[in-house]
Amino acid sequence: MAEASISVDEDQFICPVCLDLLKHPVTINCGHSYCMVCIYKHWDQEEQRGVYSCPQCRETFTPRPVLRRNNMLAEVVEKLKKTEVRAASPAHCYAGAGDVECDFCTGRKLKAIKSCLVCLASYCETHLQPHYQSPAFKKHKLVKASKQLQEKICSQHDKLIEIYCRTDQTCICYVCMMQEHKEHDTVVSAAERTEKQRELKQQQRKSQQRLQEKENQKQELKKTINFIKFSAQSAVEDSERIFTELICSIEKKRSEVTELIRDQEKTELSAAEELLEQLEQEITDLKRRNTELEQLSHTEDHIHFLQVTKHQKMGDCNRMHSLPHPVHHGDESPYYSSSSGGQGTSDSSRGQATPTERIHG
C-alpha cells in the first residue's frame, strides 16, 4: 500500500529547550512536547521547590509527573530525518550568496543545514550524519545553520544560551540561571519568545490601526486640498466675470457721457457762433457810425451839426449781448456740476442738467 505523503514543518518538531529535533520525545500534561533529557534536566532544577513547571506555558504540576516516550511523535521525527537525508542532493545544495557553508566540505562547499553549538561548526547533510548516528555526538546541540554561533554561547561559562531572565531582561545559560540569576524570574527562551510574539502581534495590530487612521487622515486632507483649489478657482472665475461686466458697464457709460458732452458742445458752439456773427456786424456798424460822428464833430457848419444830432438815436449803441461763458481748461469742465455750488457754469447752461446729471438722473 502506498504511503501517504504529508507535508510537515520541521519547526513543529523542535524541542523548545535544546532547539533541536526532538530526541525520545515526551508530552507533558499541558500538551507541550520536549526531549526526555531536556525536560528531566529542567525539573531536576525545580526539585527543591517540589513544584514542576512547563518551560513554555509555565503551568505547574504536583507531584512530579511520570513521563513515557511518545512513540507516534518519535516515528514522525524519525521519518522527517530520513526525508531530509533523501532530499539532500549535493548537486542542488551548493552554498550561494548569503548561505551558511559547511565547514567540513573541501573544494566547492555545500550549503550547511545545521550548526552544532558544541562543535561550533556548521554541517551539510552528508557531514551531519555522524551527529545522528554516533553516540559520541548524542549530547551535542544542533540548531538551524547560523553564521553567528558564538553569539549563542555564554562567554562566561561556554554554555548554550537558552534561558531568558525576565528580571534583567537578558539571555543567559543554565549555569547563569543557577548562579548569578538564581532568585530571578527565568524562563526558557521559547516561552519568552511566545510571550514576546504575542506582544509583538498586539503592537502590529496597533501599528496597523494607526496606519489606517493616518491613511484616512491623508484621504480627508486630499479632499480638503481639492476643495480649496476648486473654491479658489470658482472665486477667481466669478471675480473675472463681475469685473468684466463692470468694465463693460463703465465703458458704456463713458460712451454715453462723451456723446452727451459732444451734443452740448455742438449746441453751445452753434449759439456762440451765431452771436459772434451778430457782434461782428454790430462792430462794423459801430465803427462806421463812429467815423461819421468823428466827421460830424469836426464840421464847421453849426446848422448842419444841430440838424444831424437831432435825428441821431444814441440809445441804439448802448445795447449789450449776453456772452456765453468761455470754456475752462483747468481742473473743472463747464460741462460738469461744480462742487462749489454751481460756479463756473456757462450762462447759457444755467438751469439745465449736465450730461452726468442726465445719465444718472
Regarding whether 62 and 139 lie in a shared domain, the answer is no
pLDDT at 150: 76
**Residue 138 domain-assigned?**
yes
The low-confidence residues of the chain, meaning pLDDT below 50, are: 1-5, 88-91, 315, 317, 329-331, 336-351, 355-361
pLDDT at 6: 52
**Residue 255 domain-assigned?**
yes
pLDDT at 93: 76
**CA 84 – CA 10 distance, rounded (Å):** 10
Regarding whether 216 and 129 lie in a shared domain, the answer is no
**Residue 348 domain-assigned?**
no
**Long-range contacts (CB closer than 8 Å, 24 or more residues apart) made by 75-79:** 76/8, 76/13, 77/13, 77/21, 77/22, 77/25
**CB 81 within 8 Å of CB 94:** no
pLDDT in tens, 297-311: 888 888 888 888 776
**Residue 292 domain-assigned?**
yes
**Residue 32 domain-assigned?**
yes
pLDDT at 9: 64
Report the CATH number at residue 131: 3.30.160
Regarding whether 117 and 67 lie in a shared domain, the answer is no
Regarding whether 101 and 25 lie in a shared domain, the answer is no
Regarding whether 104 and 81 lie in a shared domain, the answer is no
Number of domains in the chain: 3
Out of 262, 280, 296, pick the residue that ends a domain: 296
In 10 A of CB 219, how many CB atoms?
Answer: 10
**Residue 60 domain-assigned?**
yes
Regarding whether 59 and 99 lie in a shared domain, the answer is no
Regarding whether 107 and 38 lie in a shared domain, the answer is no
pLDDT at 291: 92
**Angular region, 313: left φ>0, alpha ψ -120 to 50, beta rest:** beta
In 10 A of CB 63, how many CB atoms?
Answer: 8
pLDDT in tens, 82-140: 766 555 444 457 787 888 889 888 777 888 999 887 888 899 988 898 998 888 888 88
**CA 147 – CA 240 distance, rounded (Å):** 73
Domain holding 24, by residue range, is 10-87
Out of 130, 147, 164, pick the residue that ends a domain: 147
**Residue 287 domain-assigned?**
yes
pLDDT at 109: 85
CA distances from 116 to 76, 119, 216 (A): 23, 5, 50
**CA 301 – CA 284 distance, rounded (Å):** 27
Regarding whether 131 and 45 lie in a shared domain, the answer is no
Regarding whether 203 and 140 lie in a shared domain, the answer is no
Out of 87, 105, 129, pick the residue that ends a domain: 87
**Residue 201 domain-assigned?**
yes
Regarding whether 274 and 258 lie in a shared domain, the answer is yes
Regarding whether 260 and 203 lie in a shared domain, the answer is yes
pLDDT at 108: 78
Regarding whether 136 and 111 lie in a shared domain, the answer is yes
Q: What b-and-e string marks burial along 244-264, b requiring 16 or more CB atoms within 10 Å of the CB?
A: eeeeeeeeeeeeebeebbeeb
pTM for the model? 0.39
